[in-house]
Amino acid sequence: MNKQIILFFLLLIKVSYAVGQEDSMSYRAVYDFEYTVWADEAKRNDKIFLDLNKDGSFCYSAYTYESDSLMNTPNGEETFRQLVTAALSKGNTTDFPYRRSKFMITKKMDRNRL
């Protein structure tokens, strides 16, 4: 009987902790995005992140985010050149971070309208 009471209280604490954490939870959906460039009709690929949390959502290109972050770090341009050189030496023209999809979509949640 004592073990059951202890287990009940441990479960109750766990549930109340999870409910308290609900507002700080966030999710990320990852999409493989394929599109055609009209100018040369070439198919291109991108990885799109959709981040969701209690305040809203943010949709952006993972490669563009990585490229922008790299360029805004000390020695970022030098690191970028090294990555490009390494990729090209292997015969791969897309295996380095560069700006692909140039859109970023933000949606803020209006809590008063729920």
pTM as predicted: 0.59
- Would the pLDDT of 60 be above 50? yes
1-59 pLDDT, tens per residue?
555 555 555 554 554 444 455 566 789 888 888 888 777 877 878 888 999 988 889 88
Query: Does 69 have pLDDT greater than 80?
Result: yes
Distant-in-sequence, close-in-space partners of 57: CB < 8 Å, separation ≥ 6:
50, 51, 105, 106, 107
pLDDT number for residue 18: 45
What is d(CA 3, CA 31) in angstroms, rounded to the nearest whole number?
47
Q: Which is higher by pLDDT, 63 or 96?
A: 63
Range with top average pLDDT, 45-49, 100-104, 105-109: 45-49
